[in-house]
Amino acid sequence: MEIRNYKDLEIAKTPHGINAYKLYDTDHALIMHLHLKAGEALKAHITPVDVAFYILEGTPSILVGEEKIEVKKDDIVESPKDIVHCIYNESDNDVRVLVMKLPKPTAKTIMV
């Protein structure tokens, strides 16, 4: 059994410039813990696999395709593969999100 806590992990390098931690990284899946401070956002991008966002803390706005909606703690948002998506923290509080890519992508993410 392996147990991981994001607080014990190094910040992963991503093109988004936010605090991101690889919680789970195998040939089959990738799970990231994202921490967006007030005013931070991901860069809009397209992934070659389905993505699910589980909100751990805060009220981020999530863009999937042309639809942008504010979500809250314990919501899960599905983003189909090959569609632009983004997470925005437009609040004054921290946002923490689990990002689950299943299966783990083998092709490159496209930044838009």
Q: Is 1 among the domain residues?
A: no
For the chain, residues with pLDDT lower than 50 are none
- pLDDT tens for residues 84-110? 999 999 999 999 999 999 888 888 899
- Predicted local distance difference test score (pLDDT) of residue 106: 83
Q: What is the CATH number of the domain that holds 34?
A: 2.60.120.10
Distance CA 105, CA 3 (A): 23
Measured at the CA of 89, the angle between CA 63 and CA 91, to 5 degrees, comes to 125
Tokens 């509080």 correspond to what residue?
93
Q: How many domains does the chain have?
A: 1
Domain coverage including residue 12: 6-111
- Work out the widest C-alpha separation in the chain, in whole angstroms: 41
pTM attached to this predicted model: 0.91
- Predicted local distance difference test score (pLDDT) of residue 48: 95
CA distances for 56 relative to 27, 68, 109, angstroms? 25, 19, 24
Measured at the CA of 2, the angle between CA 109 and CA 19, to 5 degrees, comes to 40
